[in-house]
Amino acid sequence: MSTSILSEAAAGPSTDLAATSTVATPSAGGTAAITPATLRRFDVAGPRYTSYPTADRFVDAFGADAYAQALRQRALGARALPLSLYVHLPFCASLCYFCACNKIVTKHHDRADDYLRYLAREVELQVAQLGHGALVSQLHLGGGTPTFLDDAELAQLMEMLRSAFVLAPDGEYSIEIDPRTIDESRLETLAAMGFNRLSFGVQDFDPAVQKAVHRIQPAAQVFDLMAAARRLGFASVNIDLIYGLPKQTAASFDRTLAQICQLRPDRIALYAYAHLPERFKPQRRIEAAELPDAATKLDMLSRSIAALTAAGYVYIGMDHFALPSDALAVAKRQGRLHRNFQGYSTQPDCDLIALGVSAIGRVGATYSQNAKTLEEYCDLLDQGRLPVVRGLALSRDDVLRRSVIMALMCQGTVNFEAIGLAHLVDFRRHFAAELEALSPLVSQGLVTIGAHEIDVTPTGWFFVRAIAMVFDRYLQADRNRTRFSRII
Q: Which pLDDT band, with edges at 50, 70 and 90, does 297 fall under?
A: confident
Confidence at residue 15, expressed as pLDDT on a 0 to 100 scale = 28
3-class state of residue 196 by DSSP: coil
Answer yes or no: is 96 a known binding residue: yes
Which residue intervals of the chain bear CATH 1.10.10.920? 8-47+396-478
- Judged by average pLDDT, the poorest of 30-39, 73-82, 144-153, 339-348 is 30-39
* SS3 (DSSP) at 1: coil
User: Per-residue confidence at 459, pLDDT binned at 50, 70, 90?
Assistant: confident
pLDDT of residue 408: 94
Q: Is 125 helix (H, G, I), strand (E, B) or coil?
A: helix
Q: Is residue 433 part of an annotated ligand binding site?
A: no
Q: What are the pLDDT digits (tens) for 140-183?
A: 999 999 999 999 999 999 999 999 999 999 999 999 999 999 99
Check residue 3 and give its pLDDT.
Answer: 37
- Residue 101: pLDDT band (50, 70, 90) is confident
Tell me what pLDDT residue 486 has.
61
Q: Which residue ranges does the chain devote to CATH 3.80.30.20?
A: 55-355
Return the pLDDT at 345: 84
Count CA within 13 A, CB hemisphere, residue 185. Answer: 3
240 is in an annotated binding site: yes
- Amino acid 488: pLDDT: 59
- Average pLDDT, rounded, for the chain: 88
* 360 marked as part of a ligand binding site: yes
Flag whether 274 is marked binding.
Answer: yes
Please report the pLDDT score of residue 344 as a whole number: 84
When pLDDT is averaged across residues 449-467 and rounded to a whole number, the result is 91
Model pLDDT, residue 420: 97
* Residue 262: burial class (beta carbons within 10 Å; 0-12, 13-18, 19+): exposed
Tens of pLDDT, residues 248-264: 999 999 999 999 999 99
Mark 433-461 as b/e (b = at least 16 C-beta within 10 Å).
ebbeebeebeebbbbebeeebbebbbbbb
Residue 369 assigned to a binding site? no
Q: What's residue 71's pLDDT?
A: 96
Question: What is the model's pLDDT at position 16?
Answer: 28
Per DSSP bridges, beta strands 30-34 and 104-105 are unpaired
- 145 is known to lie in a ligand binding site: yes
- Topology given in CATH for the domain delimited by 55-355: pyruvate-formate lyase- activating enzyme (3.80.30)
Q: Say if residue 315 carries a ligand binding annotation.
A: no
The architecture CATH gives domain 8-47+396-478: Orthogonal Bundle (1.10)
Q: Is 101 known to sit in a ligand binding site? A: no
Q: Following DSSP, what letter does each residue of 48-106 receive, concatenated? A: --SSSS-GGG-BTTS-HHHHHHHHHHHHHHSTTS-EEEEEEE-EESS--TT--S--EE-
pLDDT, tens digit (0-9, with 9 covering 90-100), for 204-216: 999 999 999 999 9
Residue 27 has pLDDT above 60, yes or no: no
- Using one digit for the tens of pLDDT, what is the confidence trace for 360-373? 999 999 999 999 99
255 is in an annotated binding site: no
Q: Provide the pLDDT for residue 61.
A: 97
Q: How many residues does the chain have?
A: 488
Q: What is the pLDDT of residue 341?
A: 83
Distance CA 250, CA 235 (A): 32
Helix pair angle (219-232, 250-263), 10° resolution? 30
Distance CA 428, CA 453 (A): 10
Q: Which range, 76-80, 237-241, 344-348, has the best average confidence (pLDDT)?
A: 237-241
Mean pLDDT is lowest, of 222-231, 284-293, 330-339, for: 330-339
* One-letter amino acid for residue 230 of the chain: R
Q: What is the per-residue pLDDT for 418?
A: 96
How does pLDDT run across 313-351, given as a tens digit for each residue?
Answer: 998 877 889 999 999 999 888 888 888 887 888 876 789
Over residues 270-278, the mean pLDDT reads 90
Q: Residue 29, preceding bond cis, omega within 30 degrees?
A: no
SS3 202: strand
Residue 310 clears pLDDT 60, i.e. is over it: yes
Identify the bridge partners of residue 59 per DSSP, sorted by sequence position: 391
Q: How far is Cα 268 from Cα 260, in angstroms, rounded to an integer?
A: 9
Q: Which DSSP symbol is given to 45?
A: B
Query: Which of the two residues, 107 and 394, has the higher pLDDT score?
Result: 394
